[in-house]
Structures are given as C-alpha cells and as structure tokens.
C-alpha cells in the first residue's frame, strides 16, 4: 500500500508545522447519552485485531452503510491501511472499552478482571485529506459505530473530536459520502450545528461540513454536554444499592473511614441499601449475579461503590466492579496527587480505569454524597446525621468544609436537597453538579465551595447558564483563587489576580467571602422571593439601630425609602401592626429590613408575627435581625413563608444587597455573542482560513515563536477587519521627509523603541508636523535623544500620518494557560497603568460584555465628553474590542497582542500600532469538544 504522506511535506508554498508523533492530547474520556463513559483515542497499528473484531461483530446493514458493500471481514491490506495513519493528512480516532475473552466463565471472572484486559473498539471516526491547498484543506470523513451503541450519542461525540483534531491540523472542511438510507449519520451532520451543504448524485448523498464553529454548533455542543453530564450525575445521585469496600476493623485511616460509613448508615439509612463487601457480599456473589437486580428494573446489582482503601486497591476495586452495574465510585481515602508524581500517575490510572468501565469518580478525599429526594434519599457519606430536606444544593471540594457547611445548614434549619463532596475533584466537579442542578426539581439554590477552578472557561459557561434560572452562590478558597491545596492539579496562570472576580462577575454568580456569607445569602434565596428593585424600607426598635441600618443599606448600594420611623420600646401590638402595614403598603418599597433588639424589656414575638404575616401577604422580600433569632426560626414563619434571621444587621443587609444585585442581573439584557463581519469582500470562513494559514506559515519558519513586524501584523489584523494605520520606519531625517511625502501631511514622528514610542515627556513623540523643515529638525533632535537614551546604536524612527484627534486607548489580549484568551481594555497613560485601571473579559464575549468593559474603567468618562470635550466614537471602539476578542478566541497561537494606542475620535477609532507575538498553541482547558478531566 502507499506509505502515509509525511507531515512536513510542502503544500503549495507552506510547510505544515505538524508532527506525526502519536498525539496523546487527542485522548479523552467522554460521557455518552445514557450517562456512562468511554475512552476516545487515536488509532494505533496494534489495533488491527480489535478493528477486525469490531467489523465482524457489525450487522450486515451497518457494514453496507459504512463501506457501500457487504464486507464481513476487512481484507488484510485494507486493514493495515486503516490502522496506519500519520495523524496529519490521515487520522483516525477510536472509542474503546475493556474487552473480555468470550470463553471466560463466571468462576474465573473476578480473577480475570483484576488483570489487564484487551480493549474492544466500539466506534471509529477517520479523515483523509483530499485537498491540501493552504486555507482550503479538505478531508473526507467517515464514521462507524457499534450496533449496540447506536443511539447513545457516540457518533456526535466522535464528530466533535475528529473535527477538533482536524482543525488542529489545518483542515477547514469535511466531505462525506453517505447513502440516503443512512438517516442516523445524516442526522449527526445535520444536527451538529455546523454549516452543512448536501446534494444527491448517483444515489449517494455528498455532505460538505464547514468546520468553523458557529453559534449554533456551540449551542448544540453545550446542550449535549449539559444533558450527558446531568444524566451522569443523576446516575450517581439516584443510587439505591451502595457497595462499601474497605477494611472491617482496626485503626488505620481507611478502616476508620469504612467504619464511619457503616455507622452513618445505621444512624440514618434513608432509602439506601448498604452492602458491605466481606460481610454481606463477596466478589464471587457479584461476579455470578447472585444479587439479582437492584429493584429499579435495571440489570444492575449495585448502583454505586464507596471505597476506603490504598490507591492500588481502589484501582483494583474499580476493575472488579465491571459488570455489576455500578455507575460510579466514591473514593473516601487520600494518598493520591498530594503524594507526589507517583500519586498523580495513580490518579490518572484510576480515572482511565473508571471511565473505561463506564463509571464516574467522586474524590479522592471525598466526604461522600447525600440526597433528600422524597422516597429516594441517598446516604453514601461520612455524615452521621443528614440535614433535613430543603431547596438548597451544596457542593464542596473540601471535606472539612463539607462537614462545617452541613452542620451550619442543620443549625440554621435551612435544609438541603443535595450534598456532593468532590474532595480533590479528580473527575466529578462543581461543573457536573451545576449541570445536574439546572434540571433538578428539588433544588432552587446552588451553593459551591471551590478550592480551585480547574477549567474556569467551562465553569463560567455553565454557571452563567444556570444562574439565568437559579441563583448560584460561590465561595473560592483564597481571595483571588490562587491557593492550590495538596491533591489538586491546576494549570499555572499569569492572569491578573482579580481575573477570577471578572470570571465570576461575567458568570452572574453571587460571590461570598466565606461559608458564613454563603449561608446568609442562601437562606434569603431559599425562602424569599427575588426583590423587584433596590428600594429598602426599615423597621427598627430604636433610632440608633435605624441609623445603623440606613448606613449599611447605602453602603450596599441600595436606597433607603423615607426616613425610618423607629418603634418605641414596648410598643403595643396595634402600633406594631400599623407600622408593618405602612411599610408593606403597595409600592412603598421593594424589600424590608427589620431590626429588633430590646434593651430593658424582654423580647416579645409581636414584631416577628406582624412582619411574618405582612411578608406572607404581600410577597415582599424581607430580612430580620432580632435578638435570640437565627436561621429560619418558627417565630418568623407564616403559612409556607419563612423569613431568615441574621446575627447582625450588617449580615442581613449584606445578604439582601447580594440578592438585589443578582435579581437585577437576572433582568438585564446579557447581549448576544459578538460576531462582526470580518474581512470585507471575503466570507468569514475564508478570512479565518487566511489567518490560520498565515499563522501556520510563521510558526513553521520560527517554531519557537515569532514577534510580528508591522507589515505582517497588518496582514493578520486585516483578516479580522482591523486596519493598522500606515507608517514607515526610517533612520535619517531625509528618509523621514520622503516617508511623509508618501503618507501625506501632517505626520507624527516617534522613536520606534518600545520604551520611548509612547513617551512624549521623554521626547519620544512629536505630533502634527506639517512641513519638511519642521520634520527634519524634529527627526534630528529625536535621533540624538534616542542615541543618548537607548543602549543600542543606530536608532529607528517611525513616521505615521496623523490620525484624527481622540482619546488614546489600549486593547490587549493574552493567552493564559488556565483561563485561555484574556482580553483587556484601558485608557492610555502612566496614571492609568499605575492605578491598574483596566477591565478584563474571557471570550467569547457578548456585546453587553464589551460595553461593560469599555464603561467599567474609572477613566471611562473621558470617552463620553468629559469636561466639555467632544464625545468619542464608543461604538467604533467597541467594534475594535469585539474583533480582538474574536481573534483571540480563534487563535490559541496568539500569545499576546497589544493595540497601543487606539485613537478614538468623534468618528472612528484608529489603530496606530500593534505588537503581536505568536507561539505554538497548547490545548485550552475548555477545548471545542466534550471531554472529562484526565
């Protein structure tokens, strides 16, 4: 057969910078439609036997639809060709699961599963490049999914992964030939959301797929990701039969953990059946199916395993769970990534083993899982007593925080729907739980305690989607999220320390500083309606308390309605009722703060009763701080309505302010993704292809990275509709005059060195030069200044046609290892830089995000006619920022970009200089494909 083409072959005038080495980064664990998991990886030559077995197991119909012919067995030459790829011009991915020898019987099963088992292929996707022209690389694509897995979403997963791999190799379009009766495959292409064209010719449908992501393809991918990950979590949290694997006696840490699970189950089993390995069942029982099904009608003996054991034994347990129906394993014990590189390797092996067996992993160092679903409550944790049922879902990475939070919930009488402790979150994370909560009818408020964000882009995307329907309250360990506890593996970041704040704000979540604040906000959201505005009425038991509350309300950004009318000490019931009626009158306010602290007389419940009745009657958001009341007391209940009570007035007002801001965010227009038309006279796809070809060419010439000159920067920016203002580099005064004649008068003159090009105070800039004589004098003066200020000889000047006068701004982008592309905006100037008056955003951005970035800097009034100056063309500035965000999103090779200055005049925004640095791309945390951690 023909040998695969080398990846470094010449294609037109471009040498492709791709390696033929096995692309381990293409490996991924994925969740299927039923919530189970499988492994996707590039094909290997040693997969020939597995591929042949896969083909021979396929039905005649599936074989015909794939090869257009009856092909029970793949010929040897063809088989060799199918498994021999170069991962560039010819690539293939296979979905695999552990195989089993057909002759193995039940008696040998437990022993066999503890060892290595060959993999079975359950799906294949491949592409072969048929057009290598730069910017137009096209590949033929084909899929084949095992009959038993068809309808489980594996085809759409393989399309996402092979498309992502192809884009990394410069392929822009897929072509597929499909028989008309292959409706399933046609549906995979049609429903993926890409731009698709198809036509029928000679009884075959030719499908053409543009691989550039579209708003629709992103939406489809997010919807599928949501459904599969929610289903996966549903499988864990709906478990009824739980298997405990761990030592039964002794004093080691694992033995204590296992004993605690048994003790907790005995104290309150809920609706869970706990089976203890060694006491209730053996591996032989499970291997022989001696337990029967789990009572749910499914062919499963156990639903979930809880394991307290050393790492090697945990991995062995996961292998042995194969075929039992277990959908996940909760790992209570530690000793993994926090133990060093060997522990990290063991954790990878755990994930690979579990995902290959179709299971999710909770932990290690997990506190366990709890649910309070009526009639189907789950108890699989170390908690001796569970909080009462409620509407709050709680996720915690830290086990100690899970203990503290659960006890706080019980003390406040708040109630939980779900408690998930992810420990070191090797697999199941807050992202998975948020996916589940979005559709969970038992959860109204989502609370998360996060030690680290392993995938901030995905977190932002999922949290923003959830926050639009349910409030999300988040505590992040460390003020800036920079604390990485032992056991967590997180990419390094060079993003500004306040970048996490920007991600959370962009997501619409409520940021709490600690678990105390988290519970304060949760008890308002769980039991009170969202306020319709920020006007606050105050009912206080003394003038000093009223003044204190009014000051706290103003500090929270809310408005006090009218002067507070304090109640007198020992006021009669009718006076209290009248004050409450006035405060809760229609339109009187949007929310009420009640503070009652008797000084001499004992506390009565008159104020509590009056306020509870009025709040229940009117639906007005209410918070209370009263001596002796805390959490959700019966004294503040009326019918189904309960008013939260706080330890201090400041706590009550802070929580109310957070809820008001969230309610306002819910009603705001969050905009639409910015998608400006790119290069004039060219389709967006062609413009992106042109940019991609240019980047590939540059990195081929300079594999370690490249800093673009102004001509190349102009070409790259033009692909995204950004025009770089023309300039000329010169070394003499005479050359400067010649350049000015070409560009047109008046001109600006700058010293080209980065340290001086923006420093008018150091003589690095001269503006509005109108004739040759002045230009010669200025050039000679600047050359002399540059020679004295710069260490390098032979200074270079830059001549540029004068742009319209305007406000000088700076737009930057940097590719961060953790956050991905980070776009920044600020006004130019030393004061702005020194004060760090800059806003940030993580693409993809909406038009509302862009507008917020422009208006979010403290110096923004200069753009809107400050002190009588003409207003700048903010729309043109926002267009520049939007195009930079799209460019940064498209090009992970864009290590950094700086447009400085961008002169924003009354009409238009001129980009006067650009500094662009490229480097080889690394896979982003939120790559354009569905994948689990690992």
Considering only CA atoms, which of 743, 762, 742, 740 is closest in space to residue 751? 762
pLDDT at 209 over 90: yes
So what's the pLDDT on residue 568?
72
- Strand, helix or coil for residue 852: helix
So what's the pLDDT on residue 566?
78
So what's the pLDDT on residue 294?
56
Tokens of 516: 């105390």
Q: What pLDDT, in 10s, does the model give residues 661-706?
A: 999 999 999 999 999 999 998 888 789 888 988 998 899 899 899 9
d(CA 589, CA 583): 7
d(CA 86, CA 918): 26
pLDDT at 755 over 90: no
DSSP result, 89-116: SEEEEEEEEE---TT--HHHHHHHHTS-
* Percentage above 70 pLDDT, the chain: 91
- Mean residue pLDDT of the chain comes to 89
pTM of the full predicted structure? 0.90
d(CA 915, CA 709): 8
pLDDT at 562 over 70: yes
Backbone angles phi, psi at 289, to 5 degrees: 70, 25
Output the 3-class SS for 412-481: HCCCEEEEEECCCCCCCCHHHHHHHHHHCCCCCEEEEEECCCCCHHHHHHHHHHHHCCCCEEEEECCCCC
pLDDT at 917 over 90: yes
So what's the pLDDT on residue 8?
38
pLDDT at 107 over 80: no
| Residue written as token pair 């020679």 | 787
d(CA 591, CA 243): 49
Band (pLDDT 50/70/90 cuts) for residue 15 is very low
d(CA 472, CA 444): 9
Tokens of 592: 């009420």
Please give the residue that has the higher pLDDT: either 261 or 756.
261
Please give the DSSP secondary-structure letter assigned to residue 832: H
Q: What pLDDT, in 10s, does the model give residues 597-633?
A: 887 666 678 899 999 999 999 999 999 999 889 999 9
So what's the pLDDT on residue 482?
57
Output the 3-class SS for 870-902: CCCCHHHHHHHHHHHHHHHHHCCCEEEEEEEEE
Q: Which helix (H) or strand (E) holds 186?
A: helix 183-191
**Which residues of 629-739 form beta strands (DSSP E)?**
637-638, 641-642, 706-707, 727-730
- Compute how many other C-beta atoms are within 10 angstroms of the C-beta atom of residue 92: 22
């Amino acid at each position: 057969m023909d040998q695969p083409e080398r990846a470094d072959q010449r294609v037109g005038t471009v040498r492709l910078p791709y390696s033929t080495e096995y692309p381990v980064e293409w490996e991924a664990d994925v969740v299927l439609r039923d919530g189970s998991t499988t492994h996707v990886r590039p094909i290997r030559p040693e997969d020939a036997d597995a591929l042949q077995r896969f083909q021979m197991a396929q039905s005649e119909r599936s074989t015909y639809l794939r090869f257009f012919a009856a092909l029970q067995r793949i010929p040897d030459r063809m088989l060799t060709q199918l498994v021999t790829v170069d991962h560039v011009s010819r690539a293939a991915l296979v979905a695999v699961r552990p195989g089993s020898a057909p002759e193995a019987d039940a008696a040998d099963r437990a022993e066999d599963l503890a060892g290595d088992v060959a993999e079975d292929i359950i799906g294949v996707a491949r592409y072969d490049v048929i057009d290598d022209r730069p910017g137009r690389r096209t590949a033929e694509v084909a899929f084949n999914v095992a009959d038993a897995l068809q309808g489980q979403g594996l085809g759409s997963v393989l399309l996402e992964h092979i498309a992502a791999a192809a884009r990394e190799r410069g392929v822009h379009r897929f072509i597929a030939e499909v028989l008309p009766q292959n409706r399933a495959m046609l549906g995979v292409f049609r429903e993926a959301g890409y731009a698709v064209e198809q036509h029928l010719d000679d009884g075959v449908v030719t499908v053409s797929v543009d691989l550039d992501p579209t708003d629709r393809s992103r939406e489809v991918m997010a919807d599928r990701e949501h459904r599969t990950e929610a289903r996966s979590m549903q499988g864990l949290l709906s478990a009824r039969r739980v298997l405990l694997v761990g030592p039964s006696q002794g004093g080691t840490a694992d033995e204590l953990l296992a004993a605690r699970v048994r003790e907790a189950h005995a104290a309150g089993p809920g609706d869970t059946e706990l089976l203890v390995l060694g006491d209730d069942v053996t591996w032989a029982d499970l291997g022989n199916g001696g337990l029967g099904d789990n009572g749910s009608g499914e062919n499963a003996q156990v639903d979930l395993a809880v394991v307290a054991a050393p790492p090697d034994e945990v991995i062995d347990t996961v292998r042995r769970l194969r075929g039992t129906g277990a959908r996940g394993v909760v790992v209570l014990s530690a000793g993994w990534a926090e133990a060093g590189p060997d522990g990290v390797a063991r954790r990878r092996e755990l994930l690979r083993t579990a995902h290959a067996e179709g299971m999710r992993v909770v932990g290690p160092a997990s506190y366990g899982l709890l649910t309070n679903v009526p009639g189907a409550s789950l108890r699989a944790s170390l908690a001796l007593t569970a909080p009462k049922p409620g509407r709050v879902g709680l996720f915690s990475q830290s086990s100690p925080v899970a203990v503290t939070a659960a006890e706080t919930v019980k003390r406040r009488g708040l109630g939980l729907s779900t408690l998930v402790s992810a420990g070191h979150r090797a697999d199941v994370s807050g992202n998975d739980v948020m996916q589940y909560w979005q559709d969970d009818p038992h959860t109204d408020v989502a609370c998360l305690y996060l030690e680290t964000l392993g995938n901030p882009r995905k977190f932002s995307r999922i949290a923003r989607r959830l926050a639009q329907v349910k409030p999300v309250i988040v505590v992040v360990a460390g003020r800036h999220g920079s604390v990485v506890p032992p056991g967590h593996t997180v990419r390094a970041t060079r993003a500004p320390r306040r970048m996490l704040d920007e991600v959370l704000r962009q997501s619409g979540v409520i940021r709490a500083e600690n678990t105390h604040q988290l519970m304060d906000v949760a008890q308002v959201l769980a039991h009170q309606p969202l306020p319709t505005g920020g006007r606050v009425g105050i009912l206080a038991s003394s003038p000093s308390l009223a003044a204190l509350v009014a000051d706290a309300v103003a500090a929270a950004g809310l408005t006090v309605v009218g002067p507070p009318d304090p109640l007198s000490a020992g006021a009669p019931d009718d006076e209290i009722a009248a004050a409450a009626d006035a405060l809760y009158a229609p339109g009187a306010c949007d929310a009420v703060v009640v503070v009652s602290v008797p000084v001499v007389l004992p506390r009565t419940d008159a104020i509590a009763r009056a306020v509870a009745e009025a709040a229940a009657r009117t639906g007005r958001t209410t918070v209370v701080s009263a001596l002796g009341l805390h959490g959700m007391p019966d004294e503040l209940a009326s019918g189904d309505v309960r008013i939260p009570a706080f330890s201090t007035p400041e706590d009550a007002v802070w929580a109310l302010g957070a809820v008001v801001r969230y309610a306002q965010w819910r009603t705001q227009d969050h905009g639409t993704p910015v998608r400006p038309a790119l290069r004039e006279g060219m389709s967006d796809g062609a413009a992106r292809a042109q940019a991609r070809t240019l980047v590939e060419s540059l990195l081929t010439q300079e594999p370690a990275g490249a800093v673009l000159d102004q001509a190349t920067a102009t070409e790259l920016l033009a692909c995204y509709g950004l025009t770089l203002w023309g300039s000329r580099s010169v070394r003499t005064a005479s050359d400067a005059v010649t350049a000015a004649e070409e560009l047109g008068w008046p001109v600006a003159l700058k010293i080209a060195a980065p340290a001086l090009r923006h420093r008018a105070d150091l003589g690095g800039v001269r503006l509005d030069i109108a004739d040759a004589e002045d230009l010669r004098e200025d050039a000679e003066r600047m050359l002399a200044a540059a020679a004295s200020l710069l260490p390098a000889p032979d200074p270079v000047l830059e001549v540029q046609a004068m742009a319209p006068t305007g406000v000088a701004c700076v737009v930057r982008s940097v590719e961060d290892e953790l956050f991905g592309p980070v776009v920044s905006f600020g006004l130019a100037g030393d004061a702005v830089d020194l004060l760090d008056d800059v806003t940030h955003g993580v693409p993809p951005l909406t038009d509302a995000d862009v507008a917020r970035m422009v208006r979010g800097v403290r110096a923004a009034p200069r753009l809107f006619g400050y002190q009588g100056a003409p207003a700048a063309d903010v729309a043109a500035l926002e267009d520049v920022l939007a195009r930079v965000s799209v460019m940064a999103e498209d090009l992970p090779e864009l290590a950094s970009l700086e447009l400085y200055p961008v002169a924003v005049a009354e009409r238009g925004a001129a980009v006067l200089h650009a500094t662009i640095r490229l480097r080889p791309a690394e896979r982003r945390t939120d790559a354009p494909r569905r994948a689990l951690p690992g």
